Amino acid sequence: MRWGLPGAVVAACVGYLIYSASGGATEYYMTVSELQAHATAGDVRVAGVVQDDVHKSDGLHVTFTEKDGTASMPVQYTGTLPDIFKPGITVVVEGKLGGDGVFHARTLLAKCPSRFSTQPYVK
C-alpha cells in the first residue's frame, strides 16, 4: 500500500476540522478603538489598560474602565480576578459589547509578568 491515499484522507479530515472550527470557535482580538470602529455581534477579546476607577462590589463583581491610548470603554465582570489585577496593568477581556455601551466580560486575563521580565532595569 502506498501511504499517499491515507495521508490525503487524513489531511482532508484535518483540513475540514480546522476549517469548521475556525468558523465558530475563533474570536476577534482587538483594541478598544478597533472594537468601537467595527461593531461585531459575536464574542470578542479586547486588550487595554485598566484605569483608576476600579470598583469591586464584592470579591466577584467588578467594574472598571479599559483604555487603549485614545478610546475607552466601561467593563463589567463577574468572577475571580487575576492576582496582578490593578489599575495600570494590561488586561484582555473576553465577552460582548452590550447595547448600553458596557462591555460584559465573561473572562478576564491579565498579562502575566512571567519568567521574562517586562521592564528591563535601566542599564
Q: Are 78 and 104 in contact (CB under 8 A)?
A: no
Minimal distance, residue 27 CB to other proteins, in Å: 6
| CA distances in angstroms from 74 to 1, 22, 32, 55, 59, listed in the order given | 61, 29, 10, 11, 19
Minimal distance, residue 79 CB to other proteins, in Å: 7
54 lines the binding site for other proteins (CB under 8 A): no
> Which CB, 57 or 101, lies closer to other proteins?
57
Q: How far is Cα 23 from Cα 17, in angstroms, rounded to an integer?
A: 10
Q: How far is Cα 99 from Cα 113, in angstroms, rounded to an integer?
A: 34
Q: How many Cβ atoms from other residues are within 10 Å of residue 43's Cβ?
A: 15
118 lines the binding site for other proteins (CB under 8 A): yes
Q: How far is Cα 14 from Cα 8, in angstroms, rounded to an integer?
A: 10
Lay out the site mask for other proteins across 1-20 (x = CB under 8 A, - = otherwise). xxx--xx--xx-xx--xx-x
Task: Please pick, from the candidates 41, 52, 59, 101, the single residue that binds other proteins as defined by CB under 8 A.
Answer: 59
> Which chain residues interact with other proteins by CB under 8 A?
1-3, 6-7, 10-11, 13-14, 17-18, 20-22, 24-30, 34, 38, 45, 47, 56, 58-60, 78-81, 83-86, 92, 94, 109-118, 120-121, 123
